[in-house]
Amino acid sequence: MTVTYFTIRSGCAASWPLTFLLAVCLLGASLPSVAREGVEVGKNSSFAKLVPAEQVERSAAQQYLQVLSQADSKRALVPKDNPQVVRLRAIARKITPFAMEWNPRASTWQWEVNLIDSNQINAYCMPGGKIAFYTGILQQLKLTDDEVAMVMGHEIAHALREHARERMGKSAVTHGAARIGGALAASFFGIDPRITDGLASGGANLLTLEFGREDESEADLVGMELAARAGYDPRAGVTLWQKMGAASKGAPPQWLSTHPSGKSRIADIEANLPKVMPLFERSRVR
């Protein structure tokens, strides 16, 4: 508990500080904790702690650079003065200031947003704030700014909640179990640090890691809150997934390969709208 001391300038107040501080302490102890405004998704997974965040982010930066280099060599890296790139970066500038509440490390990330010319309906944010969109998702779905913000918020949420690091940590446990037995691995003892270091320093392809349904649902909610705080209408999540469903024609596109069904996530979004609409409404009068 942090105690703030006050100087009271009064000739007869020699005994006030102790009495005042005691009253403050008693009052503070009796007050209920203030509930957080927004969505509720719990704490980050303990599996993420098995892999150093610094190494994961360094590996992500290297892999992201490779993606951009390959796209540039094929003349598929859209120039920074392209209207769509300008649009994406403007949306990101509004969203990223709200990232730090979800992950303090985000304050040191070197955020990047790039657009790759490809028909893929795809987008991602790698650990460390490395964001990529593909022209396919913008053109084929004809996304509004609100819908782009929902996609971007979702992908940023994966990075903030360290879902890739969590997956790598679980992989480390699996590898460790093969070496030392399930009992020790399950309790996080005896995991060979060379396994976690190898996974973090480049042994895992961060672009092909698959997230579970729980991770995807969590990213939907956190992303929706990020977008709402940034001034984008969270109700766009409903229209986004309706467009996704129409584009998939019964078979999920690459970006949805392991995600919950469109109907399920629309229901979750609608159920959580009352928690984020006040944030959106407030953002419009700032």
Which residues carry out catalysis?
155
- Cα–Cα dist 177/184, whole Å: 7
- Cα–Cα dist 128/112, whole Å: 9
Helix (H) or strand (E) segment spanning residue 131: strand 130-134
Within 13 Å and on the Cβ side, how many CA atoms surround 127?
29
Retrieve residue 219's tokens.
């990213």
- Between the CA atoms of 276, 279, 281 and 286, what dihedral angle is there, to the nearest 10 degrees? -160
Q: Which residue has the tokens 């508990």?
A: 1
User: Would you give the distance in Å from CA 107 to the centre of its chain?
Assistant: 13
Burial of 52 (0-12, 13-18, 19+ CB in 10 A): middle
